[in-house]
Amino acid sequence: MKIKAVAFFIILGAVNLPAQNGIAPQDENFDPAVLKEPPLSILDNTLIYEIVTDLKTPVINPKSASADSVTFVEKMGWKVQVFSTSDYFLADSVYQLAQQKFENIDIERVFNLPYYKIRIGNCVTREEAESLLAQALQLRFPDAWVIRTPIRIMVKKDSF
């Protein structure tokens, strides 16, 4: 029986051997010069502007005051993360609860696979975030903690 099995594998290998001699043709029409790549931010000085000023390109919020006088800029700051879960519906209910409890504070839902996170505030300093954390703990968000993340702050246009 072993001799038949060995003979079978030898014949099978001999049959497939000629098929391996052919080389697949290669397409050499690729030209990297015609790629539509986005410009590098280091070349047009926007990255240097962000590093020096700690401000990104202003984003106008239509819900805010007149777009002529106020803009929002993004910079690194602090937020308080009050909840994190992988259940979308639970995260949505906590988001609505946070909207009720924190009336005049920005609240955002963040999705980082596989977690939905509820974050509040746009604090420029750690001290502001710590006081917001104390408020969140008092309002019965026991898993709240301070996180360093990009925030949006309001800037008057004439200060640009």
Quick one: pLDDT band at residue 64, thresholds 50, 70, 90? very low
Is it the case that residue 65 has pLDDT exceeding 50?
A: no
Architecture of domain 58-159: 2-Layer Sandwich (3.30)
Residue in 96, 130, 100, 95 with CA at minimum distance from that of residue 111: 95
Q: Are 148 and 81 in contact (CB under 8 A)?
A: no
Q: What is the helix (H) or strand (E) element at residue 61, kind and residue range?
A: none
pTM exceeding 0.95:
no
Residue 3 reports pLDDT greater than 90: no
Spans of all domains in the chain: 58-159
pLDDT digits (tens, 9 = 90+) for 110-137: 998 889 999 999 999 999 999 999 999 9
* Chain center to CA of 28: 36
> In this predicted structure, what is the pLDDT of residue 39?
60
Under a CB-based contact definition with an 8 Å cutoff, are residues 144 and 80 in contact? yes
Q: Is the pLDDT of residue 48 over 50?
A: yes
106 pLDDT exceeds 80? yes
101 pLDDT exceeds 70? yes
Phi, psi for 96 (deg, rounded to 5): -65, -35
Residue 43's SS3 state is: coil
Question: What does the pLDDT read at residue 46?
Answer: 54
Beta strands in the chain (DSSP E): 70-85, 107-112, 115-123, 145-156
pLDDT tier, 49 (very low <50, low <70, confident <90, very high otherwise) = low
